[in-house]
Structure 1
């Protein structure tokens, strides 16, 4: 039997065991989260994405749909996440030619009792993974990096912004 400890993480109970947080009595508020991530590739591969020359098809459209689906499935993928009724999932791409990379940004929104940071992070992660999958034949040396939450709103903690 584990020794009782003072919990400092919300998903660990007083015995140190994994625990899904009870949000029953939390206030229902509008909650948003924005996340970002990047995928770096060769200039030639980036040009294929921009010009629509990838043999697998429209890389950005497929990655956008994958990111949206992933956010909706976050509760199935991350063991202690609550299944959420998202009201908005947006995935956008910015081509950064000077750095040979694509910036992926997601926004998730709902009115509920728990935040949507994990859904936003999952959307970005899976969109980046899909970009990698669709471009790996041209550039197996791509790098996914910088995945993080940029900001969140709602709940008792209100607004939070990442440090720049």
Structure 2
């Protein structure tokens, strides 16, 4: 396998490899709780959301986060729901195409935000069934936190 060379290649590889065999309420709780414990341990001011088929299965807001983070979670998750890919990947596709997501997608920026932090819940043989999202840090840090916890949970080495 060739190592990813661009950010877009890296993001596609993450989605290719971070796939669940199944995703139920128990899995959502475990992943959400692990994200929460990791963020608490690092004293990160984030909000976390785990959803499946539009139903919120896990949500938490840590010290330093605000209602604005909840709004960002909704907007980033709306991008994953619409496109089936991470919010960072979609934003990067538009940037590499020479435009911004806001200008190129023509979607309402009050409802959609292609900023890093929302990752698709991908189930083998099914596809995207939900989202795992973090808001409160710079977009790459939000994305990287989700990916790191998913990689650990799924036993995937992304290095």
Question: TM-score surpassing 0.5?
Answer: no
Name the TM-score, length of structure 1 as normaliser.
0.31
Considering Cα pairs closer than 8 Å and 6+ residues apart, tell me whether 1 or 2 has the greater RCO.
1
Larger Rg: 1
Structure having the larger proportion of residues in helix? 2
Structure having the larger proportion of residues in strand? 1
Name the TM-score, length of structure 2 as normaliser.
0.32
